[in-house]
Amino acid sequence: MDFFSDIPLPLLIAALLAFYMAWAIGANDVANAMGTSVGSGALTIGGAIIVAAIFEFAGAFLAGGHVTDTVRKGMLDMSLLDRDQLIYGMLASLASAGTLLIGATRFGLPISTTHSIVGAIVGFGAVAIGIDAVNWPKVLQIALSWITSPLLAGGHRVRYLSFNPFNNPQRD
């Protein structure tokens, strides 16, 4: 236990909550991505776990930096927070977003990980400092991406199927 005595308590709590959030994200999102592959027989459950682990890590490693920066410092004016407010507010955001994800997953309710953490951080900032601390243009930009992404993907798919209606092979 000597190792843990040198680590500040908020850091230990943050590590535990990060694992909790990662578990909640996995419980919520991996089934969406891998359920059809396992259900169709294209992958075994073990194969799906390996594929999910590889691509979840690759996505976080290769593309996660920008997202992390936005979540970490783009939505709130951090200069208005003192050190303790920031630490405990972010811990509360992790705990609340993770708990929301676990609860929704338990009851089979569709929920977005991004909506959960963005809402938790905006809520923490609005309560701790006031609504003026929230960078509303950045929050609006994030919210608009939730609308435009599915519309663009759907439009692309409609365009593809319109120009290639017979290039969709059927399985026997």
Nearest CA-CA partner of 135 in 61, 3, 148, 143: 143
- pLDDT recorded at residue 7: 80
Structural domain including 98 reads 2-134
- Residue 123 counted as domain residue: yes
- Residue 15 counted as domain residue: yes
- Residue 121 counted as domain residue: yes
What length is written for the chain? 172
- pLDDT recorded at residue 165: 65
Phi and psi at residue 76, to the nearest 5°? -125, 150
Which segments in the chain show pLDDT lower than 50? none
- Residue 155 counted as domain residue: no
- pLDDT recorded at residue 1: 55
- pLDDT recorded at residue 53: 85
pLDDT digits 0-9 by tens, 105-119: 999 888 888 889 999
CA distances, 124 to each of 75, 99, 114 (Å): 11, 15, 15
- pLDDT recorded at residue 169: 60
Helix (H, G, I), strand (E, B) or coil at 134: strand
Cβ(69)–Cβ(51) below 8 Å: no
Which pair of structure tokens corresponds to residue 18?
A: 């990060």
- Residue 32 counted as domain residue: yes
- pTM (two decimals): 0.77
- pLDDT recorded at residue 61: 86
- Residue 46 counted as domain residue: yes
Domain count within the chain: 1
Cβ(51)–Cβ(34) below 8 Å: yes
Phi and psi at residue 130, to the nearest 5°? 130, 165
- pLDDT recorded at residue 27: 85
Which pair of structure tokens corresponds to residue 117?
A: 């953490």
- pLDDT recorded at residue 168: 61
- pLDDT recorded at residue 119: 93
